[in-house]
Copies of this chain bind each other. A is one copy, B any other.
């Protein structure tokens, strides 16, 4: 099938570029002690995760249990849930995965959560595995003091949960300008190192020290003591990251739209906030000549120098400014090589998966 035959709005995924990004990141980690455990929140398809593992990734990181279930069903892992799994319904799902023999580790950051995981695992007769999430400056979840981290690590052992290490995520740094990003990332990694130090002193050496994102992979991947990096967005890149990291990776994900109305100063296309997001700024067309300057639910206003040449029925290919939330609004990737659609990959682990 040719691109021109596709109905719109629809996501296009450039497989040549995905492969380039995977190879590029794999090459970086091939030379280092730290390894890559790429984040599944970006691709949400085992097709990409399988290629990342084949290129040397040591496992897959996920944001939630629904994504872990998708990977488990595809036989991919080992899986790290870089988030808390809280409450009885989710713990039933976690112990089900463990009982299936899935190698899955979750992040913990509170005593209450450790105790409920331990109780659920005990009742199901399985051994849970956990790392401790540290707040390295993003101020979301995570332990605050090294003493708290040491206490939680001890509690894991006492509770029959396999203690595996710690994680931090310098999400407050990943999208900053280069110099500021370096400083904030180093400050965050210094915090993680202090927690590692305290664990070592307590005789609780972490097997896993997981940090980093696409904006900080090079800093995090070279930091002493870091064993793995969770970068995910690099595999597709998006408009926002493309501004920050212009050299290393290629933007692979775009949204194909159709012009449905043309006025003097603007045109309107058929993708709105129900298929495209703008929290990272107004998305632009791939050629940079059009801006999706106003989103309704099912419409975008297109403005910019490219408007003059547009007619009703024209196709406009838009680079999402935030790929992760845009793909979460869609259900399938139309996988392209050039102008040819070579596959359709369902986007899993999105809406219907908690």
Contact = CB atoms under 8 A, between A and B. Distances in A.
A140 B84 contact: no
A296 B64 contact: no
A297 B274 contact: no
A329 B109 CA distance: 28
A298 interface: yes
A351 interface: yes
Interface string A335-354: 00000000000000011101
Contact of A86 (B10, B83, B86, B270): B270
B352 A331 contact: yes
Interface residues of A, number: 60
A275 B353 CA distance: 10
Q: How many copies does the complex hold?
A: 2
A313 B85 CA distance: 10
A96 B149 CA distance: 62
A193 to B, nearest CB: 22
Interface of A: 5-10, 41, 63-64, 83-84, 86-90, 93, 109-110, 112-113, 116, 139-142, 144, 171, 258-263, 268, 270, 273-275, 277, 279, 296-299, 301, 311-313, 324-325, 328-332, 350-352, 354
